[in-house]
């Protein structure tokens, strides 16, 4: 099992290198270049899927007025550059129609690039709750971490990590509704134990009727009670006592055995069968 302190070869050095480069972000300092925005591709491992348009517009106006205060981080590729960190800044700069952007060029592997994208977004709280849960799950799968080990790695409580991961039990409709703010985390917590179809029905009710978490708790309770009433009851197999029968057959010189409700008599000769049938008919 991987140790929580090791997320990838050289990742700690990468983070230190980026931090040092940020401290020397002025163009005249080494390590910062001015790159054509058209030459930079998005990070394929970016865990963040949702970017608020209003927030991007505000950042774009700030960049227009004051310039980019913190450079993005990229790695060189065969036909340009691949973004490692700073997608909001890159998107906002594109929105501002700027031809170039300040960037720090670092040398990293694809694994390090993937890991840094996850860690950066988690530690900066830049992910919505579903993207965050997926980022946690990805780190756990990559490094076979326990929730406790991941907690020590990303500096979040184990309970927060466990509760966030549970939200992945929501169906696709539920996850989308949570991200869009149509249902709350409290609503989600109540409905994750339901079947996907039942979740969808409850979500429609929450949105259409503006139900509170307490209302949803009552609905879920009724659904569970109804399921219990209509679930088929499994009959327990009857327990038979074959001791007297074993004794009686033994007195007749017959061997017998049983397994559960199945009883077997072993006959060695035709005479034993005849004697047994005579006893049954008498």
Q: DSSP readout, the chain?
A: ---TT-SSTTHHHHHHHHHHHHHT-STTSTTEEEEEGGGEEPPTT-------HHHHHHHHHHHHHH--SS-EEEEEETTEEEEEE-HHHHHHHHHTT-SEEEEEE----HHHHHHHHHHHHHHTT-S-HHHHHHHHHHHHHHHT--HHHHHHHHT--HHHHHHHHHGGGS-HHHHHHHHTTSS-HHHHHHHTTS-HHHHHHHHHHHHHHT--HHHHHHHHHHHHHHHHHHSPPPPPPPPP--HHHHHHHHHTT-EEEEETTEEEEE--SHHHHHHHHHHHH-
Q: Can 87 be counted among the known catalytic residues?
A: yes
Q: How far is it, in rounded angstroms, from Cα 169 to Cα 166? A: 6
Instruction: Check: CB of residue 216 under 8 Å from CB of residue 202.
Output: yes
Q: How far is it, in rounded angstroms, from Cα 145 to Cα 142? A: 8
Angle at which helix 87-95 crosses helix 53-66, to 10 degrees, equals: 70
Which residue in the list 25, 34, 87, 148 is annotated as catalytic? 87
C-alpha torsion angle, residues 187, 189, 195, 200 (rounded to 10): 20
Catalytic site positions: 87
């Amino acid at each position: 099992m991987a140790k929580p302190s090791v997320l990838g070869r050289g990742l700690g050095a990468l983070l230190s290198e980026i931090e040092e480069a940020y401290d020397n972000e002025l163009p005249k300092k080494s390590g910062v270049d001015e790159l054509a925005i058209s030459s930079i591709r998005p990070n394929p491992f970016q865990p963040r899927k949702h970017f608020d348009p209003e927030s991007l517009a505000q950042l774009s106006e700030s960049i227009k007025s004051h310039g980019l205060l913190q450079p993005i981080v990229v790695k060189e590729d065969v036909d340009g550059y691949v973004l490692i960190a700073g997608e909001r800044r890159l998107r906002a700069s594109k929105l501002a129609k700027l031809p170039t952007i300040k960037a720090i060029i670092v040398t990293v592997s694809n694994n390090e690039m993937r890991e840094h994208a996850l860690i950066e977004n988690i530690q900066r709280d830049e992910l919505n709750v579903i993207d965050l849960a997926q980022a946690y799950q990805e780190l756990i799968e990559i490094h076979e971490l326990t929730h406790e080990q991941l907690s020590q790695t990303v500096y979040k409580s184990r309970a927060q990590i466990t509760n966030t991961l549970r939200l992945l039990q929501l169906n696709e409709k539920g996850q989308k509704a949570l991200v869009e703010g149509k249902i709350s985390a409290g609503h989600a917590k109540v409905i994750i134990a339901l079947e996907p179809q039942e979740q969808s029905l409850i979500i429609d009710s929450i949105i259409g009727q503006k139900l509170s978490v307490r209302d949803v708790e009552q609905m879920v309770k009724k659904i569970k009670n109804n399921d219990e009433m209509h679930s088929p009851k499994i009959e327990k197999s009857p327990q038979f006592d074959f001791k007297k029968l074993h004794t009686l057959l033994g007195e007749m010189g017959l061997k017998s055995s049983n397994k559960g409700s199945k009883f077997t008599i072993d006959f060695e000769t035709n005479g034993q069968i005849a004697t047994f049938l005579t006893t049954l008919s008498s």
